[in-house]
């Protein structure tokens, strides 16, 4: 599999301080990431992906987003598109309006490497961020959040990807990947689900367990500390993981070590690679990567 990662801006990354979005409590307003650690963490993440047998493709950071008032969120390459992992990319429509330039720019990058393109309609009421989705291509199942996504946006993505089933999981995190991740077996099929159940709506809990019971898939429950955290303290982002066939790459350990023991028994390789500086801007492993 090919995994896209963005290069860093020429100016560094948020060297004048990180901004704050109203719905992202993890962003540390005014913080200046340590560039040496930023590059080290980025390189270690790419090495983890390569060591798992996958190719890393680096996109240049767009000059247009690194001038005037910088807009450095392109480093979270997950949000601007989603791929069917078979040659087609769906260009999304960002929930945060000032990030919609990223959707336009990434289209040209994807076209340059030969991807077929489907674009969501640029219409009011249609919003979709990549961090709100996990697409499990072998099962043709799409998990979607409904924070920065709208239901209309999620429906458009499900149609473009020709999924068999879409599971809506509405929680308190600004993106689905702040509190949920699937786990894939060596064949790329869903073999477990990891979720911070306490921040899910009652309807979403019911839907999740209906799916897991039907597929005979275990659900491993994590506390808010392993997800986005609480109003008092930001979590470890351990749920913000990149699930690859037989591998789960994430930034931190789970509070309950028995989860990793169970994953090991299931044949899942667990890789921890720090993203401390990226978490200052509210993102981690899943945000920084995107499958082609």
Give dist(CA 180, CA 196) in Å, integer: 7
Helix (H) or strand (E) holding 215, with range, is helix 202-215
Domain-embedded: residue 40: yes
pLDDT at position 229 is 64
Domain-embedded: residue 27: yes
**Nearest CA-CA partner of 262 in 244, 251, 248:** 248
Residue found under tokens 């409590």: 25
pLDDT (tens place) for every residue of the chain, 292 residues total: 999 999 999 999 999 998 887 767 778 889 999 999 999 999 999 999 999 999 999 999 999 999 988 999 999 999 999 999 999 999 999 988 889 999 999 999 999 999 999 999 999 999 999 999 999 999 999 999 999 899 999 999 999 999 999 999 998 878 999 999 999 999 999 999 999 999 999 999 999 999 999 999 999 999 999 997 655 667 899 999 999 999 999 999 999 999 999 999 999 999 999 999 999 999 999 999 999 9
For residue 9, the domain's CATH number is 3.75.10.10
Helix (H) or strand (E) holding 189, with range, is none
pLDDT at position 66 is 95
Domain-embedded: residue 260: yes
Domain-embedded: residue 29: yes
Domain-embedded: residue 290: no
- Burial letters 101-110, b for 16+ CB under 10 A, else e: bbbebbbebb
pLDDT at position 19 is 86
Domain-embedded: residue 289: no
How many domains does the structure of the chain reveal? 1
Give dist(CA 45, CA 59) in Å, integer: 15
Q: Which domain holds residue 137?
A: 2-281
Residue pair 118/106 in contact by the 8 Å Cβ criterion:
no
Helix (H) or strand (E) holding 147, with range, is none
pTM of the model: 0.96
Structure tokens, 131: 């961090």
């Amino acid at each position: 599999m090919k995994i896209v990662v963005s290069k860093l801006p020429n100016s560094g990354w948020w060297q004048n301080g990180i901004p704050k979005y109203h719905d992202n409590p993890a962003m540390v307003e005014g913080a200046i990431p340590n560039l040496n650690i930023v590059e080290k963490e980025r390189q270690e993440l790419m090495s983890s992906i390569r060591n798992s047998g996958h190719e890393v493709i680096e996109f240049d950071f767009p000059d247009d987003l690194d001038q005037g008032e910088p807009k450095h969120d392109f480093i979270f390459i997950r949000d601007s598109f989603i791929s069917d992992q078979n040659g087609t990319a769906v260009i999304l429509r960002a929930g945060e309006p000032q990030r919609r330039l990223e959707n336009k720019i990434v289209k040209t990058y994807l076209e340059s490497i030969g991807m077929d393109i489907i674009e969501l309609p640029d219409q009011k009421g249609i919003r979709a961020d990549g961090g709100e989705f996990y697409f499990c291509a072998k099962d043709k199942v799409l998990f979607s959040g409904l924070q920065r996504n709208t239901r209309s946006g999620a429906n458009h993505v499900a149609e473009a990807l020709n999924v068999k089933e879409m599971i809506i999981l509405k929680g308190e995190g600004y993106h689905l990947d702040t509190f949920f991740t699937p786990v894939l077996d060596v064949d790329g099929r869903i073999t477990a689900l990891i979720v911070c159940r306490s921040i899910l709506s009652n309807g979403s809990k019911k839907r999740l367990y209906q799916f897991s019971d039907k597929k005979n898939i275990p659900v491993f429950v994590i506390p808010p500390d392993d997800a986005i955290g609480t109003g008092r303290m930001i979590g470890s982002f351990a749920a913000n993981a990149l699930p690859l066939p037989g591998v789960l790459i994430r930034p931190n350990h789970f509070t309950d070590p028995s989860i990793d023991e169970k994953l090991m028994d299931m044949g899942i390789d667990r890789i921890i690679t720090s993203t401390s500086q990226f978490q200052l801007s509210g993102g981690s492993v899943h945000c920084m990567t995107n499958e082609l």
